[in-house]
Amino acid sequence: MGTLRQTWIRITGLLSWRNPTRQALLMSKFAATERGSSYDMLCALEKTQYPELRQKYLHHALDEARHARLFRERALALGVDREQAALVDIGYLQDHGIIGGETLFERLGEHEFLAFVHDAEQRGLEHFLIYLNSDQTDQKTKEALKGITKDEHFHRSYSRAALQNYAPEESEALLKKVRMRRYKESWMRFARTIGTVMSGIWLQLVYFLLVFPFRIFTKPDQSGWTTTEEKQTLNDAKQQF
């Protein structure tokens, strides 16, 4: 892991652990990610073209389901609301769920899927090890991370070995493709955030420069509500039909 990336993870982790609410949300996001990964592995288990990988896919899926439970328990213990946890789940499913009737395994194909798994497990392991060795992380979370990091080592190793075994000539190209797509998706998320902020700024400028001056110079109607008294007759009622 590069020094710049390691420093960035440390800084973001430090900021998250200083705020109890952010701690809980971080654990909730980890839970959603792990649960989504377990679904992906179950799909791989069903559709793989390599029977010898089925046992590893099953083992991986069970590990991810257990990790999701551990992270969710920590999120609830740290004070995340169930409503907030549900919103995190919805956001994850929108970005990583079944899109256009296809799962991640079906969209990528098995070789690229293995490259994706290896890259994701590598990045997850980097995060977890830094949080595990941080003084800001509480002891119960560290205990959960100790078991999780052991599983992540296995996931990273078998996915890389399988990729080199079944696609030796294209393994590096697939890993590069996965990383480039991840960078692009990160940039798109950043651009969307910037767009949201800039939209808010422009709307406020439009209001204060164009709408608000009219409110100042426009005289309000002092008459207020007016009451009209009309006597309704039977003929008026019949006109409704």
Span 71-86, mean pLDDT? 75
Residue (of 121, 104, 96, 117) closest to 47 by Cα position? 104
Biggest distance spanned by C-alpha atoms of the chain: 91
| Tokens linked to 209 | 């420069």
| CB-CB neighbours of 223 under 10 Å | 6
Per-residue model confidence as pLDDT tens digits over 150-205: 999 999 999 999 999 999 999 999 999 999 998 898 888 889 889 999 999 988 88
Span 55-77, mean pLDDT? 91
Q: Is the dihedral angle over the CA atoms 52, 66, 148, 29 positive or is it negative?
A: positive
The 3-state DSSP class for residue 102 equals strand
Residue 101 φ then ψ, to 5°? 80, 5
Q: In the predicted model, is pLDDT for residue 100 greater than 90?
A: no
Residue (of 164, 38, 52) closest to 111 by Cα position? 164
Q: What is the pLDDT of residue 220?
A: 63
- In DSSP terms, 102 is beta-bridged to 99
Task: Name the pTM for this structure.
Answer: 0.74
Segment among 94-103, 121-130, 206-215 with least mean pLDDT: 94-103
Tokens 């946890």 map to which residue?
85
Residue (of 108, 104, 84) closest to 95 by Cα position? 104
Q: In the predicted model, is pLDDT for residue 55 greater than 90?
A: yes
DSSP 8-state code for residue 209: I
Segment among 15-24, 34-43, 78-87, 92-101 with least mean pLDDT: 92-101
Per-residue pLDDT band for 95 (boundaries 50, 70, 90) equals: low
Q: What is the pLDDT of residue 141?
A: 87
187 contact partners, CB below 8 Å, separation of at least 6: none
The architecture of the domain spanning 3-168 is: Up-down Bundle (1.20)
Tokens 């999120």 map to which residue?
75
